Amino acid sequence: MEVLLNDFSPGLFIVQTILLLGLIFLMVKFAWKPILNSLNERETGIQEALAAAEKAKADMQNLQADNDRMLQEARSEREAMLKDAREIKEKMIADSKEQAKLEGDKMLKQAQAAIESEKKAAVADIKSQVAELSVAIAEKVIKEELSSNDKQLKLVDTMLSDIKLN
């Protein structure tokens, strides 16, 4: 202990104190402060960059998801539209078939009715002509039959015999 105390130099202690104070002051001012500040800045910069990258990644994922969702929607919309179109087409075809059928039926009926009436008219016409013709023939036949007394008598005879037969 005595040796230690003897070795202790108060002068060196004072000089060292002054030099150390100066060194701490200069180092803090010219070295540590700028170095530590830059290191902190760099670290926060890195942290921010990492956070930004993470955010960008998340954004990207969101975007991707959005895109997927939109694509899905578009696809289902297309499906729906196609389905609608198909339905409409089928409906239209069915409608027009129906329509055409109705129209055809109607026309057929009209044609049948027309044919029927034509037929009737033609039959009536034929009937009247046949009647006229028969009358005319009958007139001529009668005129011929009744042109002489013999013939008239013969006719009466025939008729009388016919009646007998009946």
Sole window of 4-12, 63-71, 101-109, 138-146 interacting with another protein (rule: CB under 8 A): 4-12
Give the type of residue at 85. Answer: A
Give dist(CA 166, CA 4) in Å, integer: 187
Q: Which is nearer to another protein, 9 or 117 (CB)?
A: 9
Phi-psi region of 163 (alpha: psi -120 to 50; beta: other; left: phi over 0): alpha
Question: For residue 109, what are its two tokens?
Answer: 């009926």
Q: Does 49 bind another protein (CB under 8 A)?
A: no
Q: Which is nearer to another protein, 40 or 61 (CB)?
A: 40
Give dist(CA 27, CA 21) in Å, integer: 10
Q: By CB under 8 A, what part of segment 147-166 binds another protein?
A: none
111 close to 118: Cβ distance less than 8 angstroms: no
Q: Does 2 bind another protein (CB under 8 A)?
A: no
- Determine the number of helices (DSSP H) and then strands (DSSP E) in the chain: 4, 0
Contact with another protein (CB under 8 A): which of 33, 75, 151, 154? 33
Q: Which is nearer to another protein, 12 or 81 (CB)?
A: 12
Give dist(CA 100, CA 109) in Å, integer: 14
Question: For residue 100, what are its two tokens?
Answer: 């055409």
Q: Does 50 bind another protein (CB under 8 A)?
A: no
Q: Which is nearer to another protein, 20 or 113 (CB)?
A: 20
Q: Which is nearer to another protein, 24 or 60 (CB)?
A: 24
> Which residues have a Cβ under 8 Å from the Cβ of 151 and sit 6 or more positions away?
145
Contact with another protein (CB under 8 A): which of 11, 143, 150, 163? 11
What is the binding site for another protein (CB under 8 A)? Answer: 4, 7-17, 19-20, 22-24, 26-28, 30-36, 38-39, 41-42, 45
